[in-house]
Amino acid sequence: MSAGMMIELLVAFLLVLTIGYCMTLNRRLKRLRNDEEALRATIAELITATEIAERAILGLKATAGDCDKNLAHRLMEAERLASDLQYYVSQGEGVVGRLVKISDAVRSGAAAPQKLASHAALERDVEYDRVNNGYRGVSAHAHYEAMEREQSAPVVEAVEKPRNLKDVAAATSERLMAIRQKRGVAA
């Protein structure tokens, strides 16, 4: 074999190796292109998901703002109602205190002028409530007559000051039941 033939065989061998390497490289490039397509699809899905998430976050922020405003409004309304209720309870306690004083005076056999003075005071209080608080209930005279009918009712012992409206309602209900039972009225 001559030197030219050996060089040509070496070149042929190197060409075969180059062709084999190019085929391997071609397969790898095809896989890379396929992976690139999958990666592009994944990126497109991520972009879509990000846009949906951004819209959802904006919706959540708007909802949270609405809830905050609604809650603030409800809290203000609740505070107003609580202060109104506290005012009415204190006014009710004052009226009950005056009624207890009047009924005690009537039960103890106070003189008629005191009864008339109590009647006039009750009339003034009811008129004041009607004018200033919008009270449109029974007249003071009717209250006074009801108290006179109750003169024969047994004296109810003083109870400790109730702590809340629920206690007031329970105590009032108990007192009413006791009066009805003593009078023989069916509950």
Q: Whole-model pTM above 0.75?
A: no
pLDDT at 60: 94
Tokens of 102: 């009047």
> Per-residue confidence of the chain (187 residues) as pLDDT tens digits?
788 899 999 999 999 999 999 999 999 999 998 898 889 999 999 999 999 999 999 999 999 999 999 999 999 999 999 999 898 888 888 888 888 888 887 777 654 444 555 556 666 766 666 566 554 444 545 555 555 555 444 444 444 554 567 777 778 878 878 887 877 755 4
The pLDDT, as a whole number, for residue 112 is 47
Residue 48 in tokens:
């879509």
Distance CA 145, CA 140 (A): 9
State which amino acid sits at residue 100. V
Helix or strand (DSSP H, E) at 24: helix 3-107
pLDDT value at position 98?
84
| Residues contacting 157, CB < 8 A, separation 6+ | none
